[in-house]
A and B are shown apart, each in its own frame.
Chain A
Amino acid sequence: MQLTNRSKVVVKKEMSFVEKLYLPAIFSGLSITIKHLFKKKATLRYPEVTREFAPVYRGMHVLKRDEQGRENCTACGLCAVACPAEAITMDAAERQKGEEYLYREEKYAAKYEINMLRCIYCGLCEEACPKDAIYLTDRIVPSEYSRGKFVFGKDVLVENIDERIDISKRKKSYKID
């Protein structure tokens, strides 16, 4: 039974003299190869050159700080309950006196872990977050040699005060007040 129209019927006929020379076939093949040398390259020299990401690209997460450098996350657990892959776990703690410059609200995440191997980068955590704390960025999760290192804690996820991560492209355009 014929499944597609692309099948070729093989005919075992005697080759002509020109075909027996092989050279025309070799040259026509070579010409294709040479033509490709002058075409625009499909690849980039990563990591020196990086491809531009779409604004909706969902890569590695970041836990944001506010303008004063305080952590936004209050460990409300909405990201974890929204997460379809159950990749997020957290422990909350109460802010002590004198820590007001570290955490924005009276509760904060003492431990916040995302298992990057479980994560499916769907962005539901970002959608669920009521505090503008978690965002998916255009950064790529670095490769590692062991599985344990893919459980990212706060040391990796929280952005540095000095090097902020720009999420203005992903920031919600709507606002509910």
Chain B
Amino acid sequence: MAKVTIDGKTIEVPDGTSILQAARMIGPDVAPPTMCYHSKLKTSGGYCRTCLVEVTKGSDKDPRPMPKLVASCRTNVMDGMEVGNLTSPKVVEARKGVVEFLLLNHPLDCPICDQAGECHLQDLGYDHGSAKTRTDFERRTFEKISLGDKIQLHMTRCILCYRCVKVADQITDNRVHGVLNRGDHSEISTYIEKVIDNDFSGNMIDVCPVGALTDKTFRFKSRVWFTKPVCANRNCDKCSGKVHLWYKGEEVLRVTGRKDQWGEVEEFICNTCRYDKKKTSDWEIEGPAEVNRHSVISANHYQVLKKGSEFKLNDIKPLPITEGEGS
């Protein structure tokens, strides 16, 4: 077991845990944001640099700080390690730079993009970025690429997180796409635009943190905040069958895997569930999906509030007072 302190909060975790996982165990307040790391995909992480943290004390045995910021998804904890995330001005500054780099080539076409509202890059830019870019150069552009009749690839929006490549490697049996070229010229491609078609290919859409891979059957149908996510399941011989149905009125507009609080898919679903079962009668409805109150998806969805009779005075708790503010 190793004791690690992140932003002043201490937790004991098993050896071999990464700093990121330890931070997530403490809670969302201290967890660094991630773009490329995905807890269900092996060897993911280490590309995007958004989860950089500062290690101010290496361990009890060797208390020297690490000379540079480290990627928390790829660095394991040591006993007595002290990590600064949001409390470290160095990290906040570096993250701002990382967001600026990610947005160098990412188009600002959120009004068109189907991912808007559940886009990790949008959240990241909102939380950690600056409102302006300093680059003078044009963004790189690509033609839209159609990967079969179900998946649309917008290469301009891709941030090269490699998640979809890992999905194809680890979930499906036959990977036909990958990252071509190097450095600034890298792009996701099926080379000669080979159609991606296997039972679990649709998961590429779910793991894509931006709008580079989008569902063609949902393309421009509705904005995500006009749809209502509902938990549902069905007996599927290929996958777990646990999904979110996105309703607009009575109509199921799309089916996705369930995402956890970090926006990562819990269980991958097959293409039959995703594309072919879009009737309420196909599913056993469990109830409305939990949506973060701060998410735009919960906008204008009225939730049942506590009744006055059920409300106790002790339920009201004072807001925590943060020190060092306002002086």
Asked if A pairs with B, the answer is yes
Q: Are A76 and B223 in contact (CB under 8 A)?
A: yes
Closest A residue, CB atoms, query B223: A77
Is B247 located at the chain interface by the 8 A CB criterion? no
Q: Is the interface of B mostly helix, strand, loop or mixed?
A: loop
Identify whether the interface residues of A are mostly helix, strand, loop, or mixed. loop
Contacts A94-B219, A177-B132 given; indicate if A107 touches B112 (C-beta within 8 A). Answer: yes
Q: Does A76 contact B112, Cβ atoms closer than 8 Å?
A: yes
- Chain A residues with Cβ below 8 Å from B219 are 94
In the complex, the number of residue pairs spanning A and B with C-beta atoms less than 8 Å apart equals 41
Interface size on B, residues (CB 8 A): 17
Residue in A closest to B132 when the chains form the complex, CB atoms = A177
A105 touches B (CB below 8 Å): yes
Min Cβ gap A103→B in Å is 11
Q: Mark B230-258, 1 if CB is under 8 A from A, else 0.
A: 00000000000000000000000000000
A74 at the interface (CB under 8 A from B): yes
B131–A77 CB distance below 8 A: no
State A94–B154 Cα separation when bound (angstroms): 15
> Which residue of chain B has its CB nearest to the CB of A107?
B112
Question: Which of A76, A80, A86 has a CB less than 8 Å from the CB of B110?
Answer: A76
B262 at interface, CB cutoff 8 A: no
Name the one of B111, B220, B222, B226 contacting A130, with C-beta atoms under 8 angstroms: B111
Contact yes or no, B220 A80, CB < 8 A: no
Digitize A56-88: 1 where CB-to-B-CB distance is under 8 Å, 0 elsewhere.
Answer: 000000000000000000111110110000100
Measured CB to CB, the nearest residue on chain A to B109 is A105
Q: Which of A86, A94, A130 contacts B300 (CB 8 A)?
A: A86
Report the count of interface residues on A (CB-CB < 8 A). Answer: 18
Contacts of A176 in B (CB 8 A): 131-132
Q: A81-B225, A92-B220, A93-B220 are in contact. Are A74 and B112 (CB under 8 A)?
A: yes
B119: Cβ under 8 A from any A Cβ: no
Also in contact, A76 and B111, with CB within 8 A (given A81-B296, A176-B131): yes
Contacts of A106 in B (CB 8 A): 112
Once the chains bind, are B111 and A131 in contact (CB under 8 Å)?
Answer: yes
Residue of B nearest to A92 (CB): B220
In the bound complex, residues from chain A placing their C-beta under 8 Å from that of B116 are 76
Name the B residues within 8 Å of A105 (CB-CB).
Answer: 109, 111-112
Q: Does B299 contact A (CB under 8 A)?
A: yes
In contact, A77 and B226 (Cβ under 8 angstroms): yes
Supposing A92-B220, A94-B219 touch, asked if A74 and B111 sit within 8 A by C-beta, the answer is: yes
Show the binding face of A for B, using Cβ within 8 Å.
Answer: 74-78, 80-81, 86, 92-94, 105-107, 130-131, 176-177
Chain B interface (Cβ within 8 Å of chain A)?
109-112, 116, 131-132, 219-223, 225-226, 296, 299-300
**3 A-B pairs with least C-beta separation:** A76-B111, A77-B223, A92-B220
